[in-house]
Amino acid sequence: MRKNMPALGELERVVMDAVWDSPEALSAYDVQQQLEAAGRPLAATTLLTVLSRLEKKGFVASDRTVRPYRYSPVASRADHVAELMHEVLGESRDRMAVLERFVGSVSEEDAAVLRKLLRGDG
Amino acid sequence: MRKNMPALGELERVVMDAVWDSPEALSAYDVQQQLEAAGRPLAATTLLTVLSRLEKKGFVASDRTVRPYRYSPVASRADHVAELMHEVLGESRDRMAVLERFVGSVSEEDAAVLRKLLRGDG
DNA sequence: GAAGTGGTTCTACGCGGCGTAGAACTCAGC
DNA sequence: GCTGAGTTCTACGCCGCGTAGAACCACTTC
């Protein structure tokens, strides 16, 4: 698990959502079309800039054997979020206290999911 | 639980650590002394600026009935971190998938803590 | 192989947040 | 009302992010 994950800006997050939501790798143009359909028209160059920043940050990878290049997520959204949770948890000095507060404030459904997952685990 | 918690900068985090680590409310001067002892000397005005930004963001509160003002954390560090975890979790569309990844990658000690907490809970 | 066309990189600008702190102000005590 | 510690006001520089123009590259088509 990478430490010190870079933060995502607002547009970067929107782009990541598009990349995550797609079953296949997307070209910059694909992303542009999707955002335009979602009411957020942007210049193609803007998408390219954002995508290359995301690539530098390690959030997407590009397949350069085809033209146009295809961008795909490095980690799934769930993996990404789970990693973030671990990173946040690692900030603390008293993990137990944090977990206590965390569990104490999850919904009953989430608690049920956790119980099930932990049962299967040990 | 507040949504959209503002992010903490690097110095802001250091200051919050000092505030969290102290059993009583601190004056700006106290914080300055502590950071200086920790090898990070800063002008008093810098601390005041940071503290007022932290107050505006809702991380600390100031007692203005005494002079110098005393700053104390609004939430404990554990509460803060737990809130962050919830916020991150809320980013996801598939909470279950995230929880699965999360639980799948916690240490055995953390898992034991979680099991215990969830047992007491339900 | 020169030209066109779509896609990509290079470069850059403006804005806002953060680290940093000087200058000006305020209030308790003399 | 002066003094000095403590606080607010103001500001500057840097960096990241949203944004995109201009230049560059790689195929197709004649």
> Which of A6-15, A66-75, B2-11, B32-41 has the lowest average pLDDT?
B2-11
Contact B118 A99 (CB under 8 A): no
A14: which chain B residues are within 8 Å (Cβ-Cβ)? Answer: none
What are phi and psi for residue A26, nearest 5 degrees? -115, 150
Of B4 and B91, which is predicted with more confidence?
Answer: B91
Helices (H), A1-122: 10-21, 28-37, 44-56, 77-91, 95-104, 108-121
Asked if B10 reaches chain A (Cβ–Cβ under 8 Å), the answer is no
Q: Which amino acid is located at A78 in the chain?
A: A
Mean per-residue pLDDT over chain A, rounded: 92
d(CA A61, CA A40): 23
Q: Where does the pLDDT of residue B3 fall: very low under 50, low under 70, confident under 90, or very high at 90 and above?
A: low
SS3 B30: helix
Residue B1 has pLDDT above 60, yes or no: no
ipTM of the complex: 0.87
Q: A100-122: per-residue pLDDT in tens?
A: 999 999 999 999 999 999 986 54
Asked if B44 reaches chain A (Cβ–Cβ under 8 Å), the answer is no
Dihedral angle computed from the Cα positions of residues B117, B20, A9 and A88, in that order, rounded to the nearest 10 degrees? -30
